[in-house]
A and B are shown apart, each in its own frame.
Chain A
Amino acid sequence: MNFLNGMTLLLVYQLAGEVTVRLLAVPIPGPVLGMVMLFLTLMIRGRTPEPLQNASTALLSHLSLLFVPAGVGMMAHFDRIADEWLPITLALFFSTIITMVATAGIMQVTTRWFARRQQGGDQADE
């Protein structure tokens, strides 16, 4: 029952997200808005109910499984991929690496910069 309640809650928020996105015609995917709504609810309530904790842990601990059916979809696109394999594979591979390295670099530099500034600010206060 516990898991079921948590799962129901997740579906209710997804549904609320999907309906809102369609009513307001905003270009944000429904589940993403549902996540924002759930996050705000948790902020207001100040704690995560146990059924929700269980359902979300169960779903997120096997997140990779959920991508498998989409991955198998490759077989429906073999022709297209064979036609343009060079731009597809190289652009995908290098752009992923560029994104990973650039984001990590920017995060590293900005985190350090703000930590130093905050420390500087604290010392100035004293």
Chain B
Amino acid sequence: MNEPAIRDIWVYLSTSPLLGLTITLVAYGLAYRLYLKSNSSPLVNPVVTSVAMLIAVLMVTGTSYSEYFEGGQFVHFLLGPATVALAVPLYDQFSRLRQLWLPVTISLVCGVVIAAGSSIGLAWLLGGSTEIQMSLAPKSATAPVAMGISETIGGIPSLTAVLVVATGIVGAVLGTKLFEWMRITDDSVKGIAMGVAAHGIGTARAFQVSSQMGAFSGLAMALSAFATALIVPWLVDLIGI
């Protein structure tokens, strides 16, 4: 093949969503295989490795994020229906949940306030700008929810999306170790903490531990998305930023 032909193909590919979508799925497939090879070590989290691979590929080929997102948006879009789908495990675990509704409600409200309060407080102490504090505040809620809140309170929504993913990774990687260290064995307790602190990425990790932990984590993620949307804008008003 001669060079102009390759250039023509590249021009076609860089304007079509096909390439962005395909490399997302290929990178995730490789990352997931790597994760299984490592005996499901949380350190080889598939989100970390696939994001790293994709950024490397885009930088080498000089592709911008907006060009990549033409294809990536199809995967990103599924976060919406996936949020709705959480109603199913929630319904399956409802009888367990009904017995625990008071502890769950208390932990959830406290967790949401602590998540937002500690991130605003720490960022402020370390000299972060107001914009950064506001972008960090909803970081424990799931991506589409956090982006919406970030916008209302004066953060940068697309930066919040990145911080949400990073938060999920920290939670998924360290969560099980933290619970071991705290000597917590109850799957419902672990699930609630995982879902409140580390949303969907934590929930994906929780499902690998047990389906009960996954269901509780999914429940906590869904309810804390709800609670974050109600509490965080009010909390920000209260602190007076």
Contact = CB atoms under 8 A, between A and B. Distances in A.
A binds B: yes
A91 B119 contact: yes
Interface string B184-222: 101011101110111011011001000000000010001
B118 A70 contact: no
Interface in A56-106: 56-57, 59-77, 80-81, 84, 86-88, 90-106
A5 interface: no
A63 B229 CA distance: 21
Main secondary structure of the interface of B (DSSP, over half): helix
A40 B103 CA distance: 22
Given A66-B76, A77-B162, A106 B110 contact: yes
A64 B84 contact: no
B134 interface: no
B189 A104 contact: yes
Interface residues of B, number: 106
B119 A32 contact: no
Contact of B167 (A27, A92, A101, A103): A92
A84 B129 contact: yes
Interface in A27-52: 27-32, 34-36, 38-39, 42-43, 48, 52
B170 A92 contact: yes
> Which of A52, A53, A57, A75 has most B Cβ within 10 Å?
A75
Contact of B84 (A10, A104, A106): A10
A45 B162 CA distance: 38
> Which of A13, A30, A91 has most B Cβ within 10 Å?
A91
The 8 closest A-B pairs by CB, nearest first: A87-B128, A69-B72, A104-B193, A56-B85, A103-B111, A110-B103, A87-B126, A91-B122
